[in-house]
């Protein structure tokens, strides 16, 4: 572990690793500290929905072709249970090959780290960052490895791991859990993802391989009850909840759950320190915006670093420029996902009617639909 680098990135997940790769050929000395002891071991497997804009970032890094199974999302069907309004978003309407892609987190992580091993970035595994503070014009990180605590300084500390963030956070508990699973269905998905809003919360089916990745949102007690059901009973409950748009549900595997909430940093920058990805914001999975927002954080920060002198790294002007560039996209993503959850996760009769009208209007007004689609794909600058 080096005692000083121009840039130290705390967190070697996909967002932190993406930033490291974006800066690998710069003039800055870069050190990435990752808590996992063995980066060759597969990371936890879970489903990620990447936007087409995120694919462009990964292609530029030479990472996209190294990801194993990738399932394109060419269509998104949005509906409300018990409501007539619905909308379709199609890649052909945006003149794109896909709106997004479904990949496995572990495969993306492995592809990024394989690329990182061929770069000049210094990677230290088994190093946990416990504290980040400002000291004499630098960021001071307290990193522990194998029981030994080492102070590390940097002109700019980038915190990409939520566990290393030590700043005031705004939080909201949705009182919902997400049940995730892999399911197969009677009808092929043909690249179509489904987002279905119900009073309990949204239920999403994302095309993955020959089947779907399921994200079923409900209250904690309901989710625990669903997890305990035998497969056949679970499939019957899912059929009743989701309907028959994809035919019969045939099988389910790999059921798990996690709590849902909204958490974001009140300030994403401090002197010589910036938060990105999960350290900056963690969103509800509705509309699949959180991870893509983090990749755009990395892209924009890399651009600001490349146009900064070494002496100006982490300075007030550079951090203000980054904050200004990210403000609209970040605030828009937080507002959009939070609004969807609060508007659609209830059984209010007036809101139910309004939601049906809103979905019908979205389908009937191509400029509005294009506006929504472009921002889901590319962020605020779409």
Q: What is the pLDDT of residues 103-123, one digit of tens each?
A: 999 999 999 999 999 999 999
User: CB-based contacts of 73: which residues, under 8 Å, 6+ apart?
Assistant: 49, 91, 98, 99, 100, 101, 102, 191, 192, 193, 206, 207
- Structure confidence at residue 168 as a pLDDT band (50, 70, 90): low
Q: What is the mean pLDDT of residues 225-250?
A: 96
DSSP secondary-structure letter at 45? Answer: P
Inside any domain, residue 144:
yes
| Within-domain flag for 232 | no
CB 9 within 8 A of CB 158: yes
* Average per-residue pLDDT for the chain: 93
Residues 365, 357: Cα–Cα separation, whole Å: 12
**pLDDT band at residue 163 using 50, 70 and 90 as cut-offs:** low
Name the residue with tokens 């002198």: 309
**Residue 175 forms part of a structural domain:** no
Query: Domain for residue 335, yes or no?
Result: yes
**pLDDT tens digits for range 66-114:** 998 999 999 999 998 877 789 999 999 999 999 999 999 999 999 999 9
pLDDT in tens, 266-296: 999 999 999 999 999 999 998 889 999 999 9
**Residues 118-144 as b or e (16 or more Cβ within 10 Å = b):** ebebebbbebbbeebeeeeebbbbebb
| Percent of the chain clearing pLDDT 90 (strictly above) | 80
Q: Per-residue pLDDT for 60 more than 80?
A: yes
User: What is the DSSP-derived secondary structure letter of residue 286?
Assistant: G
Within 10 angstroms of residue 323's Cβ, the number of other Cβ atoms is: 16
Assigned domain for 330 exists: yes
Any domain includes 253: no
**Is 119:31 a contact under the CB 8 Å cutoff?**
no
Confidence category of residue 355, pLDDT binned at 50, 70, 90: confident
Q: How far apart are CA 50 and CA 281, in angstroms?
A: 17
* Number of domains comprising the chain: 1
Give the domain extent around 304: 4-68+102-169+262-342
The pLDDT value given to residue 307: 94
Q: Does the structure show a pLDDT above 70 at 166?
A: no
Residue 268 lies inside a defined structural domain of this protein: yes
In tens, the pLDDT along 175-233 reads 999 999 999 999 999 999 999 998 888 999 999 999 999 999 999 999 999 999 999 99
Q: State whether residue 248 is helix, strand or coil.
A: coil
Residue 164: pLDDT band (50, 70, 90) is: low
pTM over 0.75: yes
pLDDT band at 41 (very low <50, low <70, confident <90, very high): confident
What pLDDT is attached to residue 353? 81
Does residue 290 form part of some domain?
yes
How many percent of the chain have pLDDT more than 70?
Answer: 98
* Domain at 158, CATH number: 3.50.50.60
Sign of CA dihedral 378, 269, 13, 164: negative
């Amino acid at each position: 572990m080096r005692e000083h680098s121009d840039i130290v990135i705390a967190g070697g997940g996909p967002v932190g690793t993406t930033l490291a790769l974006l800066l690998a050929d710069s003039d800055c000395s870069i050190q990435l500290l990752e808590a996992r002891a063995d980066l060759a071991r597969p990371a936890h497997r879970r489903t990620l929905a990447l936007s087409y804009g995120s694919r462009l970032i990964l292609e530029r890094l030479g990472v996209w072709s190294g990801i194993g199974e990738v399932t394109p999302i060419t269509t998104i069907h949005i509906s409300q249970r018990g409501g007539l309004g619905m909308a379709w978003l199609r890649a052909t309407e945006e003149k794109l090959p896909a709106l997004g892609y479904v990949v496995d987190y572990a495969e993306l992580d492995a592809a990024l780290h394989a690329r990182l091993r061929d770069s000049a970035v210094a990677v230290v595994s088994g190093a946990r960052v416990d504290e980040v503070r400002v000291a004499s014009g630098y960021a001071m990180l307290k990193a522990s490895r194998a029981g030994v605590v080492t102070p590390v300084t940097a002109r700019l500390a980038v915190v990409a791991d939520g566990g290393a963030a030590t700043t005031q956070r705004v939080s909201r508990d949705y009182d919902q859990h997400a049940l995730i699973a892999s399911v197969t269905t009677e009808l092929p998905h043909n690249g179509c993802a489904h987002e279905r809003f119900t009073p309990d919360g949204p239920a999403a089916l994302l095309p993955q391989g020959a089947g779907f990745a399921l994200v079923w949102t409900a209250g904690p007690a309901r989710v625990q009850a669903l997890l305990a059901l035998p497969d056949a009973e679970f499939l019957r409950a899912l059929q009743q909840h989701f309907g028959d748009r994809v035919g019969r549900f045939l099988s389910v595997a790999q059921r798990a759950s996690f709590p849902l909430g909204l958490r974001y940093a009140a300030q994403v920058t401090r002197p010589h320190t910036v938060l990105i990805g999960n350290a900056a914001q963690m969103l509800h999975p509705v509309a699949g915006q959180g991870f893509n927002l983090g990749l755009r954080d990395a892209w924009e920060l890399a651009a600001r670093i490349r146009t900064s002198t070494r002496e100006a790294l982490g300075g007030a002007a550079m951090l203000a420029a980054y904050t200004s560039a990210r403000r609209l996209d970040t605030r828009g993503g937080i507002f959009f996902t939070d609004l969807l959850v609060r508007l659609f996760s209830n059984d209010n009769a007036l809101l139910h009617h309004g939601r049906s009208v809103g979905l019908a209007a979205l389908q009937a007004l191509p400029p509005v639909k294009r506006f929504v689609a472009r921002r889901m794909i590319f962020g605020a600058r779409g």
